[in-house]
Amino acid sequence: MAGRVVVFLEQATYEPAYQAASIGVTAAAMGEEVYFVFAFDALRALSRDAFGLPHSERELAESARAEGLGVPTPARLLAEARELGAKVIACDTTVRICGFSAVDLAMKLDEVMGLPSIWRLTEGARVLTL
């Protein structure tokens, strides 16, 4: 029975990005309606194609182990989730706080929406924060 999954991301280093993207692609593959809500560091990383890049020695080691195991990168998992219908969105106010405009992020986000609309997405959804 399909439902909705909303994943709120504020961090986008390897660990939280992998966790979010792997859960999201799994949910999308299982027929769930998936939304990734990007904010602050995650939004900035997405804007500069740095989503899921390691930021510490530990994350560098984890990323290398994952590559050795043939595990897709967080960016690839996010792309796969989007191919399965997942949406990447951000709050219009957060976009502006981060110094962007909706036009700046048009190629990175599926939609920029108001917080009330994002809030409505959470109704009856599985909500995850990372």
- Phi, psi for residue 43 in degrees, rounded to 5: -65, -45
Q: How confident is the model at residue 2, as a pLDDT?
A: 76
Q: How confident is the model at residue 34, as a pLDDT?
A: 98
Q: How confident is the model at residue 71, as a pLDDT?
A: 97
Query: Are the C-beta atoms of 88 and 57 separated by less than 8 Å?
Result: no
Fold of 4-129: Hypothetical Protein Ychn; Chain: A, (3.40.1260)
Q: Where do runs of H (alpha helix) occur along the chain?
A: 14-29, 40-47, 57-69, 74-83, 92-97, 115-121
Q: Delimit the domains of the chain by residue range.
A: 4-129
Burial class (CB in 10 A: 0-12, 13-18, 19+), 71: middle
Query: Average pLDDT in the 23-52 region?
Result: 97
What is the tens place of the pLDDT at every residue in 45-99? 999 999 999 999 999 999 999 999 999 999 999 999 999 999 999 999 999 999 9
- Tell me what the pLDDT averaged over the chain comes to: 96
Q: How confident is the model at residue 116, as a pLDDT?
A: 97
Q: How confident is the model at residue 112, as a pLDDT?
A: 97
Can you give the pTM of this predicted structure? 0.95
Residue 70 has a CB neighbour count (10 Å cut-off) of 6
SS3 for 63?
A: helix
Q: How confident is the model at residue 1, as a pLDDT?
A: 54
pLDDT above 90: percentage of residues in the chain: 97
